[in-house]
C-alpha cells in the first residue's frame, strides 16, 4: 500500500542515458519518453535556448543545420557524460516531462552505464542525476539491462551472449548463473559507422558530407551483409576540391565497404569475449546464439553478418533500441531481486 502511494506521489524512473538518445520508462507505465540526447545553445553562451526547453527533439532539428548563432551539443559521448552542466539541465527537463513529481518528493531512478565506466565517471552520473532531482540512484550496466530487457535466461546455468551496438558504445557480455562471465566494451558503434562513411565519401567520390548526411545514408541504403538487396540513393555534398555543391549516387555495397573496418573491430571484440570463456559455455552458444540490440542492430543484414562470421544463431531483440530501457524498467520494478547487480546511493 505504502509502495503504491509512493509510486503515485513520485513514480520510479528507469533512464537509458544514451550517447544519441535518452529513453525513460515509468513504474508500471512503460516507455514515456524517447528523445535525442541533444541540447541547443546560443553560440558563446552556456544558456540553453527557449528558456531551457531546446533539448531533445527540438534541439535535434537544429543539429547539422544550425544558423551561425546557434550550436547543438551532445552532452554524452561514448556512453559517458562529457558536459555535466548541460547533461544535468537536459536530464532535469526530461524528468519533468516524463513524470509529474509531487513537491518535496524525489523519485528513485535507475540509470544504465557502460561496463567500462570508471569510478570517476560513475560518480559523475550519480552527481548529475542527483542535481537533476533524483532521490535514491541506482546504476546498472547496460549489457545486463539489455539481457534482462531481451528476456534472456541469465540466471540459469547456460551461456547468454548479448551484443548491444548503440551510437557511442558497443557492449558485449556473456552471462551465466546471474554473473558476468566475460565482457567487452568498445567505443566503436553507430557514430563510428557515420564517421567511416564521411571519410569514405571523401576518398571515393571527393565529396565532403556532414555526419547527419552520413547517418541518413546508412539508414537509407546501409547493410552489413551481401545477402541484403542492393539499393541506391542520391547524396548531396560539397566537392572537396572546388567547394561547389555536387550530387553522387551511392549504393548499398558502397556503404557496406565504408563501414566494414569498424564492423570488423566489433566482430573482433565479440571473439575476444568468446575466447575469455570456458569451452563448455561457448558450446552452449551453438544453440542459444547471440542476441543483438541497440539502435545499430536495425542495420539490415547485421544479424546475417555476425551469424556467418561466428557460426552461431543471431537474433535481433524486439524493438532493439528500447531493450536497455525495458531491462531497466523490469529491474526497477523488482529492485530487491537485482540489488547485487546495482551500484547505488540514497538521498532523502
Ligand X SMILES: Nc1ncnc2c1ncn2[C@@H]1O[C@H](COP(=O)(O)OP(=O)(O)OP(=O)(O)O)[C@@H](O)[C@H]1O
The 3-state secondary structure of the chain, one letter per residue: CHHHHHHHHCCCEEEEECCCEEEEEECCCEEEEEEECCEEEECCCCCECHHHCCECHHHHCCCCCCCCCEEEECCEECCEECCHHHHHHHHHHHHHHHCCCCCCCCCCEEEEECCCCCHHHHHHHHHHHHHCCCCCEEEEEHHHHHHHHCCCCCCCCCCEEEEEECCCCEEEEEEECCEEEEEEEECCCHHHHHHHHHHHHHHHHCEECCHHHHHHHHHHHCCCCCCCCCCEEEEEEEECCCCCEEEEEEEHHHHHHHHHHHHHHHHHHHHHHHHCCCHHHHHHHHHHCEEEECHHHHCCCHHHHHHHHHCCCEEECCCHHHHHHHHHHHHHHCHHHHHHHCEEECCC
When asked if residue 79 is in the footprint of ligand X (CB under 6 A), the reply is yes
Q: Is 215 in the site for ligand X (CB under 6 A)?
A: yes
Find out whether 237 is annotated in a ligand binding site: no
Per CB under 6 A, 19 contacts ligand X: yes
**Any contact of residue 254 with ligand X (CB under 6 A)?**
no
168 among annotated binding-site residues: yes
Q: Residue 247, annotated ligand binder? A: no
289 binds ligand X (CB under 6 A): no
Nearest to 188 by CA among 206, 169, 202, 172: 169
Is 216 labelled a binding residue? yes
Q: Which three cell numbers stand for residue 347?
A: 538521498
Annotated binding residue 217 = yes
- 171 labelled ligand-binding: no
Whose Cβ is closer to ligand X: residue 218's or residue 256's?
Answer: 218
189 binds ligand X (CB under 6 A): yes
Determine if 75 is a binding residue for ligand X (CB under 6 A). no
Identity of the residue, 113 or 285, whose beta carbon is nearer to ligand X in the bound complex? 113
The size of the interface with ligand X (CB under 6 A), counted in residues, is: 23
- Could you give the CA distance from residue 186 to residue 79 in angstroms, rounded to a whole number? 10
User: Does the annotation flag 296 for ligand binding?
Assistant: yes
Q: Which range touches ligand X (CB under 6 A), out of 116-124, 183-191, 257-265, 272-280?
A: 183-191
Question: If binding is defined by CB under 6 A, does position 10 make contact with ligand X?
Answer: no
Window 312 to 331, contacts with ligand X (CB under 6 A): 321
- 20 binds ligand X per the rule CB under 6 A: yes
Nearest to ligand X of 132, 281 (CB atom): 132
> Binding ligand X by CB under 6 A: which of 148, 299, 317, 328?
299
Name the residue nearer to ligand X (CB basis): 281 or 314: 314
Q: Does 298 bind ligand X (CB under 6 A)?
A: yes
From the CB of 18, what's the least distance to ligand X, in Å?
A: 2
Among 148, 167, 174, 182, the residue binding ligand X under the rule CB under 6 A is 167
Annotation: binding site: 167-169, 215-218, 295-298
Annotation: binding site for ATP: 167-169, 215-218, 295-298
- Give me the residues that bind ligand X (CB under 6 A), please: 16, 18-21, 79, 166-169, 189-191, 215, 218-219, 222, 294-296, 298-299, 321
Amino acid at each position: 500500500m505504502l509502495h503504491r502511494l509512493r509510486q503515485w506521489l513520485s513514480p520510479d524512473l528507469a533512464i537509458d542515458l544514451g550517447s544519441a538518445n535518452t529513453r525513460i520508462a515509468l513504474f508500471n507505465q512503460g516507455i514515456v519518453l524517447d528523445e535525442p540526447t541533444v541540447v541547443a545553445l546560443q553560440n558563446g553562451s552556456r544558456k540553453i535556448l527557449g528558456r531551457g526547453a531546446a533539448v531533445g527533439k527540438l534541439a535535434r532539428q537544429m543539429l547539422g543545420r544550425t544558423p551561425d548563432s546557434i550550436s547543438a551539443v551532445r552532452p554524452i559521448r561514448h556512453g559517458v557524460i562529457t558536459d555535466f552542466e548541460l547533461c544535468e539541465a537536459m536530464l532535469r527537463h526530461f524528468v519533468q516531462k516524463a513524470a509529474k513529481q509531487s513537491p518535496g518528493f524525489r523519485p528513485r531512478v535507475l540509470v544504465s552505464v557502460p561496463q567500462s565506466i570508471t569510478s570517476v565517471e560513475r560518480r559523475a552520473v550519480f552527481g548529475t542525476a542527483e542535481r537533476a532531482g533524483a532521490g535514491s540512484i541506482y546504476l546498472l550496466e547496460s549489457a545486463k539491462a539489455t539481457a534482462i530487457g531481451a528476456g534472456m535466461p541469465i540466471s540459469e546455468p547456460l551461456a547468454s551472449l548479448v551484443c548491444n551496438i548503440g551510437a557511442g558504445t558497443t557492449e558485449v557480455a556473456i552471462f551465466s548463473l546471474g554473473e558476468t562471465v566475460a565482457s567487452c566494451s568498445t567505443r566503436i558503434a553507430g557514430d563510428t559507422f557515420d564517421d567511416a562513411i564521411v571519410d569514405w565519401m571523401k576518398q571515393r567520390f571527393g565529396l565532403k558530407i556532414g555526419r547527419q548526411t552520413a547517418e541518413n545514408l546508412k539508414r537509407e541504403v546501409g547493410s552489413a551483409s551481401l545477402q541484403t538487396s542492393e539499393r541506391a540513393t542520391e547524396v548531396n555534398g560539397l566537392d572537396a576540391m572546388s567547394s561547389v555543391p555536387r550530387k553522387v549516387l551511392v549504393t548499398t555495397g558502397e556503404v557496406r565497404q565504408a563501414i566494414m573496418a569498424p564492423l570488423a573491430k566489433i566482430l573482433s571484440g565479440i571473439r575476444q569475449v568468446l575466447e575469455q570463456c570456458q569451452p563448455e559455455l561457448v558450446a552452449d552458444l551453438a544453440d542459444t546464439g547471440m542476441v543483438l540490440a541497440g539502435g545499430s542492430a536495425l542495420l539490415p543484414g547485421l544479424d546475417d553478418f555476425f551469424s556467418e562470421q561466428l557460426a552461431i544463431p543471431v537474433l535481433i531483440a524486439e524493438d532493439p533500441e528500447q531493450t536497455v530501457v525495458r531491462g531497466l524498467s523490469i529491474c526497477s520494478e523488482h529492485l530487491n531481486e537485482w540489488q547485487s547487480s546495482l551500484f547505488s546511493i540514497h538521498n532523502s
